[in-house]
Amino acid sequence: MSVRVRFAPSPTGFLHIGGLRTALYNYLFARHHKGTFVLRIEDTDQSRYVSDAEQDIIESLEWAGIQIDEGPHKPSSFGPYRQSERKERYHKFAQQLIEQDHAYYAFDTTEEIEEMRERLKKSGNPSPKYDSITRQSMKNSLTLSQDQVQEKLQQGDEYVIRLKVPRRDTVKFKDEIRGIVSFDTAGLDDQVLLKSDGMPTYHLANVVDDHTMEITHVIRGEEWLSSAPKHMLLYKAFGWEPPTMAHLPLIMSPSGGKLSKRKAETEGIPVNTKEYRFGYYEPEALINFLAFLGWNPGDDSEVHNMSSLCEKFTLDRVSKGGAVFNYKKLMWYNEYYVHHHRTIEDLLPQIQQMFSASGLKANDATFLKMVVTLLHERVSKVDEFVPMGRFFYEAPKDYNEKALKKWSDQSAVLVKSFIGRLIEIAEQEFTAVAIKHALEATVDAESVGFGKVMMPVRIALSGQSFGPDLFPAMELIGKTECLSRMQTAVGRLG
């Protein structure tokens, strides 16, 4: 039997980074086994539906290099791929469960259920349930006569369909990551399968779809583990073979606890894939990083592209414990991919566009190429080209505060001494080598270290205390402009 997995997000917002990792693990597993990766949109909760979410999910997966084999935009024989378009199936299967005495109609109003809970709480039951005991005194097709039930249905009375959860049973299954997991049914409500608005609950729709779409492995986040016993009961009631289960470890915040939206915000971690997409992150870096967020290949290797990940990925190397989101590590990957996988040629059009968008006249292709070449090894994310590259095009308007701390009492004198030597270099001989000689001469004459001269020169030219190699940068900027910026700084900073 060939492997079929699904990523089944609810379109309630933009694709979360945790969702992207779930999709990735499913995809890697599918490709490793030459199987199929399905995208199913679980849109049965109308109240939380966000209309752009589906588009965002598809675009985000594509950006990340995750190829969807079947989905709402790529239909195949298992469709439709939106649960809202599969309603009649859920009705049919819920009906089947009623006929086989695994489910029943329940006509109780919210008030009646509330009343039952209050009553039980008073008599000492702290968490009353609609279960095998209480169902016997409620208004449902198990307590009413067949005629009464028919009458209610014909009258159009509101109802839900509930699963008959067995009284005392232990649901046991093997999770590929956690091993044997067992739950006591005594803690479960008679799960609602079909809601009064005619929509299925997540549990019914999920099980019916996984079965009818012939999903072989369910790989999803740990937060769904507590739903798994309900799903197992449903598989049993239907008489279906359940898929293999694998619940992925939680993604943890560096300060501890689950990486919630709020936590991520305070710790400066972008949570939506969209923020990475439009924030100039390298998709390969994000994927490499996410792959290692709960999995490892079993050796020290760290850099893997998608095809290498597909080849290496197995569920037995996924960890049980929570995986901490280490943003520094992500940036390490990003830098690696910018340095090793982005060539100057491939960066040029993007950088030109970014420069132009921020008001820099980057029309001279040869000049731009030299700028990008000088900066390439310094940036860890491509949007850093703009702040770091600005000084090639214009004089600093002001000086960075931190940088200014490095401008000492001696600086003006030293810069002036350097200017004196630079003036002697002819315009067309103003090369990195000549500039370096001038600096060496200055340092010798003034008996100071290199940094004492270099740092104020850098500040004068760029307004910053860091940046690319100074000599080639000065050559590019040109003699007249360099001298003018240094004189300005001496005048302004003294």
Is residue 21 within the footprint of ligand GLU (CB under 6 A)?
A: no
The region of 6-14, 48-56, 181-189, 349-357 touching ligand GLU under the rule CB under 6 A is: 6-14
Residue 311: CB minimum distance to ligand GLU, A:
25
User: Could you write out the DSSP letters of every residue in 202-249?
Assistant: HHHHHHHHHHHTT--EEEEEGGGGGGHHHHHHHHHHHT-PPPEEEEEP
Report the helix count and the strand count for the chain, using DSSP H and E.
21, 11
Residue 309: CB minimum distance to ligand GLU, A:
21
Active-site residue, from 258, 261, 320, 402: 261
The region of 5-13, 74-82, 258-266, 283-291 touching ligand GLU under the rule CB under 6 A is: 5-13
List the Cα angle 401/402/408 in 5-degree steps. Answer: 95
Given a contact cutoff of 8 angstroms between Cβ atoms, the answer to whether 318 and 177 are in contact is yes
Is residue 71 within the footprint of ligand GLU (CB under 6 A)?
A: no
By C-beta, is 241 or 427 nearer to ligand GLU? 241
d(CA 403, CA 333): 28
Residue 80: CB minimum distance to ligand GLU, A:
16
Footprint of ligand GLU on 34-63 (CB under 6 A): 42
The region of 8-16, 72-80, 111-119, 433-441 touching ligand GLU under the rule CB under 6 A is: 8-16
d(CA 216, CA 204): 17
The region of 7-15, 140-148, 249-257, 357-365 touching ligand GLU under the rule CB under 6 A is: 7-15
Q: Identify the three-state secondary structure at position 172.
A: strand
Total interface residues for ligand GLU by CB under 6 A: 7
Q: Which residue has the tokens 């298992």?
A: 78
Residue 382: CB minimum distance to ligand GLU, A:
32
Helices 411-423 and 479-493, packing angle to 10 deg: 160
Footprint of ligand GLU on 186-245 (CB under 6 A): 206, 220, 224
Judge if the upstream peptide bond of residue 80 is cis by omega within 30 degrees of 0. Answer: yes
Residue 261: CB minimum distance to ligand GLU, A:
15
261 is catalytic: yes
Residue 28: CB minimum distance to ligand GLU, A:
16
By C-beta, is 217 or 220 nearer to ligand GLU? 220
Contacts 24+ apart (CB under 8 A), 441-445: 442/414, 442/417, 442/418, 445/417
Q: Which residue has the tokens 């690319």?
A: 468
CB atoms within 10 A of CB 241: 9
User: Could you write out the DSSP letters of every residue in 24-72?
Assistant: HHHHHHHHHTT-EEEE-B----GGG--TTHHHHHHHHHHHHT---SBBT
Is residue 8 within the footprint of ligand GLU (CB under 6 A)?
A: yes
By C-beta, is 55 or 136 nearer to ligand GLU? 55
Is residue 9 within the footprint of ligand GLU (CB under 6 A)?
A: yes
Binding mask 442-481 for ligand GLU (x = CB under 6 A): ----------------------------------------
> Dihedral of the CA atoms 118, 124, 126, 131 (nearest 10)?
-70
Q: Which residues are catalytic?
A: 261
Catalog residues that contact ligand GLU under the rule CB under 6 A.
8-10, 42, 206, 220, 224
